[in-house]
Amino acid sequence: MKRIQKVLGILLTVALATTSFVGCSSGSSNTSSSSTSTSTDSSKTSETTNKDTSSAPVETKQEEVKLKWVVWDKDSTAYLQPAIDAYKQIKPNVTIELLDVSSQEYQDKLSVMLSGGADDIDIVTVKDTPGYSSMVNKKQLEPLDSYIEKDNIDLSVYSGLTDQIKMDDKIYELPFRSDFWVLYYNKNLFDQAGVAYPSNDITWNEYAELAKSLASGSGADRVYGSHHHTWRSTVQLGAILDGENSIIQEDYSFLQPMYDMILQMQKDKTIMDYASLKAGSIHYKGVFFNEQAAMLPMGSWFISTLISGIESGEADSTNWGIVKYPHPEGVEAGTTLGTITSLAINSASKQKEETWEFIKFFCGEEGANVIAQTGTLPAIKTDEVVATIANMKGFPTDENSKEALKVAKTYLEMPVNEKSSTIEQILNEEHDLIMTDSIAVDAGLKEMGKRVTEELNK
Amino acid sequence: MEIKTAKNTVTKMSKRELKDNLIAYSFILPNFIGFAVFTLIPVLFSFALSFMNWDGANAITFAGFDNFARLFNDETFKIATWNTIYYAIGTVPLTMVCSLGLAVILNKNIFGRNIFRTIFFFPYVASLVAVAVVWNMIFNPAMGPVNQFLMSIGMENPPRWTASTVWAMPTVIFVSVWKNMGYYMVIYLAALQGISKDLYEAASIDGATSWQQFKSITLPMLTPTTFFVSIMLTISCFKVFDLIFMMTQGGPGRSTTVLVSHIYNIAFKEFSYGYSSAVSMVLFAIVLVITIVQFRMEKKWVSYM
């Protein structure tokens, strides 16, 4: 009896002490069950609104409709409120309520909410491709094909992006925002070094040469030629612009020249050391703001950050410009990488028609103009939109910078694939090893290929 | 007649015992309900889930032993298991030695010992996030003060600490020891105060040196505490996550990926709850076996005087 008690005691102690991780893995089930219970209350209300509205056609009904839109960092996202206000003018009976989630945990939390069958969420903002693939796999998003067909939406305005997000020949999201990579440069630092500004057509080799000629000084005062943030995308994705390789494939030897180049730049102290950046969690923003680097390959989302940084006096790099992203030899200038942010319909939503009406507005041309006015690049880049951005207060006035906004072809940073989040993890881990010199480039790329192949064949 | 009364007393006794027991249980009940709802049921659910496939949205399907078979082909699992053992072997003895050493020193009547006790306990209550950021700065391979110092005394290629696959784990172990030794120091201090002064007096009359006193009185008298500390430390080492997540995110590559971070990745990046539960069960089994072994060995070295 004593013995059993003792064994039981050990068991319980261990169970208690290991609670934190077990609680972790089952936490989702707890939260999801609680969110179902709350959502049943709200589903009742949405059911009643639905009953009122479904009897009349969408255009003529005047009953109150309430849509819930899940977004991240509501307060620092400039275009949300203007878009809601603009829609209110067209459809006064529709109220859109925002559900704010912090951007760091956005995908995790959203997945948990949708897993719990949260039917009070109507409009889902899709943050990235791995999240998109995983939500489609879990059947949490509504296919949009029938809606697109019914309303005769012309997908060609998205310049090929919508073809890259099809899964099983169906489309589940419409992009409203699309950012692409450009090369930022600090004109003052170029002038000081006596180097001519870059043009709108430079190759990666020319870029490396340019960076080398700009680096000077030592210690804390060193000015670096360029700055590569710790993301794998700042190294790997320069190599996929020729269209011959994809970032999800079984052989990664095509990345070798790019890694060799970046590692050499790191060795020459043309760019900052990856390991120090990572260990210090240093944001690329500060490096460019403090004039520590003359160039910065980065996404177009940095334009508005930079402009507001200069306005608030936080940034010293007031004299700046952009040019088109560097490209491999023999590739058309203006070929670049892109990320899209899209809207989708929660498949559990009870107001899919009304939700689609808003998505049609927001992802269409009217929405694009509203978004552009807040300094963000919408997915539809009409001449009007480009002009709005280029004439924005604080945007560089030289012709090259305006020209740089015109894109020839955009490749998605991460192609749509059901394994993309696992592959992302593998690519990051091996990138980490190569950049910290823990493994030779060819060996690292081989390991990368081996692990991704295993994952793809699983 | 006699037998009857004896029987009566027995039933009476057990009735009273039953009442006592019920009263005791009623006091335990509120806590037990919490334990059942938030720990026991999730643990059982997790156990059941390890034989299923579930992504959180689609229907749960039965997987049998597939999830456990998958473990044998999972390279990251092997790396993570090895890293966890490495971390535990590095952390447990070091923390015990450091905390015991501190406790013995701060048990003496030295000047300002309360201040020092506070200083050494402070890391334990400090926020882990802040601690991790500060140590990452100190160990920064290029700009950190540690490497600046090493380079200034002529070392050309100092270790790159968290940016090196070789040094990342030792660095994390060091920070972990620094952070936790204060807590175990307090436990040892309490135990030291409990050792009777008579023993030391008797020993010094017999001419024992202070090292002999430490070896023959202090250490044996502390064995129950050492036993407790070793078990608590081992369990906490096997479930380490926060420190690693904050300092290295499992990197560089997978060189500091531990079991719990692997579980987290499978569950919340890949959404295979079934497989992650299977890994959790393995972790549970490892901790259980180690704890049972420790309890078995208890008789051999722990003395309750």
- Would the pLDDT of B36 be above 70? yes
Q: How many CB pairs under 8 A join A and B?
A: 154
Q: What is the mean pLDDT of chain A?
A: 83
**Whole-number pLDDT of residue B40:** 93
User: What is the band of B11 on the pLDDT scale with cuts at 50, 70, 90?
Assistant: low
**Whole-number pLDDT of residue A12:** 53
Q: Which residues contact B268 (CB under 8 A, 6 or more apart)?
A: A28, A108
Determine the residue of chain B that is closest to A19 in CA distance: B39
Residue with the larger pLDDT of the pair A179 and A13: A179
| Minimum distance, in Å, between the CA of residue A443 and any CA atom of chain B | 13
Q: What is the mean pLDDT of chain B?
A: 88
* Contact residues, chain B, for A439 at CB < 8 Å: 253
User: What is the band of A46 on the pLDDT scale with cuts at 50, 70, 90?
Assistant: very low
Contact A26 B42 (CB under 8 A): yes
- Would the pLDDT of A3 be above 70? no
- Would the pLDDT of A6 be above 70? no
- Which pLDDT tens digit goes with each residue over A303-320? 888 988 898 888 898 899
**Whole-number pLDDT of residue A254:** 93
pTM summary value: 0.77
* Contact residues, chain A, for B49 at CB < 8 Å: 25-26
Contact A22 B46 (CB under 8 A): yes
B44 CB-side CA count, 13 A: 7
**Whole-number pLDDT of residue B7:** 53
- Would the pLDDT of A431 be above 90? yes
CB atoms within 10 A of CB A195: 15
* Peptide linkage before B123 cis (omega within 30 of 0): no
**Whole-number pLDDT of residue B9:** 56
**Whole-number pLDDT of residue A29:** 38
- Which pLDDT tens digit goes with each residue over A129-144? 888 988 888 888 999 9
In 3-state terms, what secondary structure has residue A85?
A: helix
- Rounded-to-5 percentages of helix, strand, coil across chain A: 50, 15, 35
ipTM for the whole predicted complex goes beyond 0.90:
no
**Whole-number pLDDT of residue B270:** 80
The span from the CA of A343 to the CA of A328, in Å, is: 33
User: What is the band of A22 on the pLDDT scale with cuts at 50, 70, 90?
Assistant: very low
* Contact residues, chain A, for B58 at CB < 8 Å: 138-139
- Would the pLDDT of A86 be above 50? yes
- Comparing A13-17, A114-118, A128-132, A404-408, the range with the smallest average pLDDT is A13-17
Q: Give percent above pLDDT 90 in chain B.
A: 54
- Which pLDDT tens digit goes with each residue over A219-252? 778 899 999 999 999 999 989 988 888 889 899 9
**Cβ B161 vs Cβ B171: under 8 Å:** yes
- Which pLDDT tens digit goes with each residue over A350-397? 888 889 999 999 998 889 988 888 888 888 888 888 888 888 888 898
**Whole-number pLDDT of residue A2:** 54
- Which pLDDT tens digit goes with each residue over B266-300? 888 888 899 999 999 999 999 999 999 988 888 88
**Whole-number pLDDT of residue A47:** 40
Q: Which residues contact B168 (CB under 8 A, 6 or more apart)?
A: B161, B162, B248, B251, B252, B255, B256
Closest CB to A22 among B42, B56, B292: B42
- Which pLDDT tens digit goes with each residue over B210-249? 899 999 899 999 999 999 999 999 999 998 999 998 888 8
- Report the candidate in A95, A94, A101 with the shortest Cα–Cα distance to residue A118: A101
**Cβ A410 vs Cβ A178: under 8 Å:** yes
**Whole-number pLDDT of residue A178:** 87
State mean pLDDT over B8-20: 73
User: What is the band of A433 on the pLDDT scale with cuts at 50, 70, 90?
Assistant: very high
